Every structure is written in structure tokens, then in C-alpha cells.
Amino acid sequence: MDVRCFTVGPVAENCWIVRREGADRGLIVDPGDEAERILSAVGELGIGVDAILLTHTHFDHIGAVAPVARATGAPVYCPELEVPVLANVMDWVPPGFGPYESYDADQTLSGGEHLELAGFEIEVIHTPGHSPGHLTYSIADEAALFSGDVLFQGSVGRVDLPGGDGPTLLQTLRKLAESFPEQTTVYPGHMGITTLGAERATNPFLAELAR
Ligand SMILES: [Fe+2]
């Protein structure tokens, strides 16, 4: 799998461009900002974009959705519960950030779906706690999770934003840890790439799961 990370915007969000090695089609996960940079990378790779997948709709993950969707023609897959946020982005942006363009989702997901896009088989998992509709995308044959703001290297997503909830996030982390092998690579919404096993071993927020 060819995975490119673009850390974009004022809060250093990770946008991912993903394709099978050498493929001429790919996916974009969470185009949060800097549309021109993401689009020029797509152009350099010379790929078509089959889908834009959103883990959740905090502004730092969706700031470039509208221009990237417009330029690529790719449908945007959004958590069903968070469609109204994507459709009225500026209602949810803290002062001092933006402006960002709203977008009406092309497809909605609530978890449990199986997608076939850009040559990938993708399982959609509902992973609430950081935001109510938060989704994680699993590509099992690549042992890869695109986990948005659920799990970070040495940390976890914050739970103090609207719709966030600590016990729910802990349930989500337990579900991921129990559903996927330890060697699974985690491509998070902020900071570096990690694995489920490394986080289980060292992440203080996951220590509780061991009990
Ligand atoms: Fe977030």
C-alpha cells in the first residue's frame, strides 16, 4: 500500500492519500486544509480519486473537503450523525479559524458498511467518544486503520468537545484493540503513525484496557 501523509492546517491534521502500490486510483482521508497542496500531490501521483473518506467533521479534518471534492469529482463519505456539521461548517468553527466551505455529503455511513473503493476492501467501524458519529476505516488485508482522532501515539482523542464522552471513547478503544491484531498499523488524525500493539504496551490511556 502506498500511503502519503500531508500534515495540514493550523492544528497539524493528517490528511492521507492512499492507493494500492502503483495503482492509478486512490482515496483521500480527511482533507482538513491546504486543498492546493493535496490536489497537487494527487496530480503528481497521476491518480484518480474514487472517494473522500471522513472520520469525523471537526473543522481541522474537513476544511478542504469542498475544494478537493470539486476538483477531483470524488464522492464524499461522511458520518451520518455529522452530516449537518459538514453542511454548516462555520457554525462549528472556533473563533480565529477559517473560513471553511460547507459541503453536502454525497454518501453517509454509520458503521458496519463494507466499501469497495480504489481496489480496497474497507470495513467501516463506528468509533464514538471523540465525536458522536466518528468512524474508523479498516483495510484488513493491509492491516491498516485510519482512525481519525480516536487513538494517537501515546495519547487519545479529547472528549471535551460537543458530543464527546470519555467512557464511550474507552469502549471504542477496547473494541478496536479486541477486533484487530497487534501489528495493525494506525494512521491517526494527528501526530505519527503507530501500531495497536505499541499503544497497548505503552499508551497510558490504554492501560485500563489491560485490566
Ligand atoms: Fe477531532
- 16-53: pLDDT as tens digits: 999 999 999 999 999 999 999 999 999 999 999 999 99
* Sign of the CA dihedral running 11, 184, 123, 205: negative
Q: How far apart are CA 29 and CA 61, in angstroms?
A: 9
As a whole number, mean pLDDT of residues 80-97 equals 96
pLDDT grade for 211, boundaries at 50, 70 and 90: low
pLDDT at 21: 96
Q: How far apart are CA 94 and CA 194, in angstroms?
A: 29
Q: Is 183 exposed, middle or buried (0-12, 13-18, 19+ CB in 10 A)?
A: exposed
24 C-alpha to ligand 1 centroid (Å): 30
55 C-alpha to ligand 1 centroid (Å): 9
Give residue 197's identity as a one-letter amino acid code: G
176 C-alpha to ligand 1 centroid (Å): 18
73 C-alpha to ligand 1 centroid (Å): 25
22 C-alpha to ligand 1 centroid (Å): 31
Q: For a pLDDT cut of 90, what percent of the chain falls above it?
A: 96
Cis amide bond preceding 99, omega within 30: yes
Q: 173-209: per-residue pLDDT in tens? A: 999 999 999 999 999 999 999 999 999 999 998 887 7
pLDDT at 209: 75
pLDDT grade for 210, boundaries at 50, 70 and 90: low
Q: How far apart are CA 68 and CA 64, in angstroms?
A: 6
